Amino acid sequence: MADHNNGDDGQLRDALEALSSDNATDMDRADIADDADTTAGADGMNGANNADGPATQHTDVAPAQGSAEPAVRTLTAEELQRKRKREKRKFRALVISMIVLLLVGLGLVLYPTVADLYNRSISSRAVASYVEAVKDTSKPERDKQLKLAHEYNETLVGQGNGRFVPNEEENKQYFSILDVTGTGIMAYLTVPKLDLRVPIYHGTSDTVLQIAAGHLEGSSFPVGGPSTHAAVSGHTGLPSAMLFTGLDRLEKGDTFSVSVYDETLTYEVSDINVVLPTDVSPLEIKEGEDLMSLITCTPYGVNSHRLIVTGHRIPTPEAHDPAKVAEKAVVKDMTLIIVAIVAVIVAVSLIFWRGRRMRQGQIKHMGAKR
């Protein structure tokens, strides 16, 4: 290759000398110039071929199939807009899915609590309605109803267990006594240790026991007096309401109270029994004693027996204002419900806020790539 280059250089020098001579014709000069151009072009090609590497070229053409490097192409404005819309739809679907999952999870976890709060709110309003109805009841009507209740209680003394199976006439008379509101509420029960305040309805039908406590027909009306034994029943373990759940926590010495009209009677727990459903011996009327029993199913989830918590009458320890009690109950329960609702709203808002930040970050990233 070196010898070939030296020969070309010599020919070029001879040609240049010939051009400079006085004897060269115009034709000779033209031929020599063509040869010089050809030689220079050949040298240029040789120089290009002898370079360290091929010349770099910028092209939009994608590399051949099988190339290790993928093609990089800039998105057009229309394509970028379509991509943003797709990302937005995906993100919206993701946020909605997260919210649905959150609400379902919260629903499963909080349902018993929220349902109980709702039931407590209903009970509180029922108690408040009862208190208002009592305030609107005239004294003669109040005295008449209390007299009927005491007379009914007197007829139960000495009947034994037969009093729990009343005839049709006794049944009709029973439901007409102490029905202040016309809804079947005769009183309301308060158990401080359980933070329980619930209306007491006539009878123990399933409809009643799903929402409140029921007075056991055949037991004494909860108006107090010697030789009386009132019995009130309530469910345990309902998913929608606590009611008598936790009654097994009561111990001897604990207290509970019942409010009838504008009077509150307080009882101290003195006896606790677990018996079969057919055993009503703990509910017997004892001569001269003023007793009241709370009844629920036990053990939890099995319900094969009955838990009977019995208390004897004691003086009410302090002035008891039923109107204030009902008002406080409504305010407390509504406050808890509002707090629960606000918590859910805050959680959903945080998801939206977080999602919006993520979406803005994606848009900025896409704009930078463009």
Residues tagged active-site: 235, 297
Instruction: Retrieve residue 273's tokens.
Output: 């029994």
d(CA 366, CA 370): 6
d(CA 148, CA 172): 13
Instruction: Please name the residue that has the structure tokens 């006085």.
Output: 22
d(CA 84, CA 311): 72
| Contact indicator for 305, 276 with CB cutoff of 8 Å | yes
CB neighbour class for 152 (10 Å; exposed up to 12, middle 13-18, buried from 19): middle
Instruction: Retrieve residue 20's tokens.
Output: 């400079």
d(CA 256, CA 263): 14
| Contact indicator for 363, 84 with CB cutoff of 8 Å | yes
